[in-house]
Amino acid sequence: MFQIEGLEELSENELQEVVGGTLQDDLNDFLALIPNADIEALFLDYLAADVSVSLTSHRKSSNQRRA
């Protein structure tokens, strides 16, 4: 690791120039790397193929029709 001397003396704007943005910017950049659409498609495919989920949703819809 390295340390930059004098960071505590910088204003917030100067600090952002040195480090290149905020923690929120870093988090947003990281989240942008996650392929949400692909993950959602995989999850929905899994649910569609999962027998226990299929049985649970079938029971739930049967119970709703009786009520």
Residue 65 lies in a domain: yes
59 falls within a domain? yes
Residue 44 in any domain: the answer is yes
CA dist 57 → 31, 40, 43, 48, 51 (Å): 32, 19, 16, 11, 10
Q: Has residue 46 been placed in a domain?
A: yes
> Is 7 a domain residue?
no
The pLDDT, as a whole number, for residue 57 is: 61
Q: Write out the residue range of the structural domain in which residue 39 sits.
A: 35-67
pLDDT tens series, the chain, 67 aa: 566 777 678 887 887 777 777 888 889 999 999 999 999 999 999 988 887 877 666 566 666 666 5
Taking the C-alpha atoms of 40, 46, 51 and 53 in order, what is their torsion angle to the nearest 10 degrees? Answer: -20
Decide if 66 is inside a domain: yes
Question: What total number of domains does the chain contain?
Answer: 1
Residue 19 lies in a domain: no
Query: Is this model's pTM higher than 0.75 or not?
Result: no
